[in-house]
Amino acid sequence: MSEDIVRVPVHLAIIMDGNGRWAQKRGLPRIVGHKYGVQAVEKIVRAASNRGIRYISLYAFSTENWKRPKTEVLGLMSLFKYFIKIKINELKKESVRLRFSGRLEDLSPSILDILRNGEESTRMGTKIDMIVCLNYGGRQEILDAVSKYIASDIALPLNENIFRSFLYLPDVPDPDLIIRTSGELRLSNFLIWQSSYSEFYFTDKLWPDFDEKELDKALVSYNERDRRYGRT
């Protein structure tokens, strides 16, 4: 880790973009890019944990991604299931707590069972929370939170703290740093409520090429920021 990294974010969020383009540049099917993207996830989660980052949120599949070709969607779902089944013991060994965020109830029962098993099997992990955002959309999370608030019949007037309690993972702090790979400069409906004071780091690297060196570049940039939260 670079000596220029004095402080690390408590919560790092990543928009993992570029798997398909990475594969297409090599004349490979898009699903191959997603497989290499999973390998990058393993490396970056481990690197983040070793650097003292406590939470890492990964934008894996958005509510809009259902519009992709059916074969690609099925391939992605198979990858999610494979990763959880194969890597669960490794995650437990490294004290990683696996969690999922999104409209999970819309997923197939077979996938949902695997997700719940992954969460339950790693719930004692204390080194880093690996939050996989699956069938996730920031606008959808806000709408779901409002719907749950209305259905709750809470007598207190709505404020930020009460609203937060209805988010998918209310105990998780807002991201300090959001990284987006592949050169795109937008949030793409990711953590809209939680990103109000997040720092952003954009890189042209495609996600499968994003490694520890690139992570450290982002963390060095983060250390150069003065986070004022509206203060002068």
- Does 20 show up as a binding residue in the annotation? yes
Half-sphere exposure of 9 (CA within 13 A, CB side): 31
- Does 18 show up as a binding residue in the annotation? yes
- Does 107 show up as a binding residue in the annotation? no
Beta strand pairing status for 96-101 and 55-62? unpaired
- Does 11 show up as a binding residue in the annotation? no
- Does 187 show up as a binding residue in the annotation? yes
- Does 30 show up as a binding residue in the annotation? yes
Residue 149 carries which side chain, given as an amino acid letter? Y
- Does 17 show up as a binding residue in the annotation? yes
> Exposed, middle or buried: residue 22 (CB in 10 Å: 0-12, 13-18, 19+)?
buried
Rounded to whole angstroms, the Cα distance separating 181 from 158 reads 36
Helix axes 70-93, 109-121, angle to 10 degrees: 20
- Does 62 show up as a binding residue in the annotation? yes
Q: Does the annotation mark 17 as catalytic?
A: yes
- Does 209 show up as a binding residue in the annotation? no
- Does 180 show up as a binding residue in the annotation? yes
Q: Write the DSSP assignment of 129-168 as a string of letters.
A: EEEEEEEE-HHHHHHHHHHHHHHHT--SPP-HHHHHTTSS
Contact, 105 vs 32, CB < 8 A?
no
Residue 215 carries which side chain, given as an amino acid letter? L
Residue 128 carries which side chain, given as an amino acid letter? I
- Does 34 show up as a binding residue in the annotation? yes
Active-site annotation holder among 4, 17, 159, 174: 17
For 102, which DSSP code? Answer: S
Rounded to whole angstroms, the Cα distance separating 17 from 19 reads 6
- Does 203 show up as a binding residue in the annotation? no
DSSP three-state, residue 172: coil
Active-site annotation holder among 65, 117, 189, 223: 65
- Does 7 show up as a binding residue in the annotation? no
- Does 21 show up as a binding residue in the annotation? yes
Q: Residues annotated as binding site for substrate?
A: 18-22, 30, 34, 62-64, 66, 68, 180, 186-188
Question: Annotated catalytic sites, by residue?
Answer: 17, 65
Q: Residues annotated as binding site for Mg(2+)?
A: 17, 199
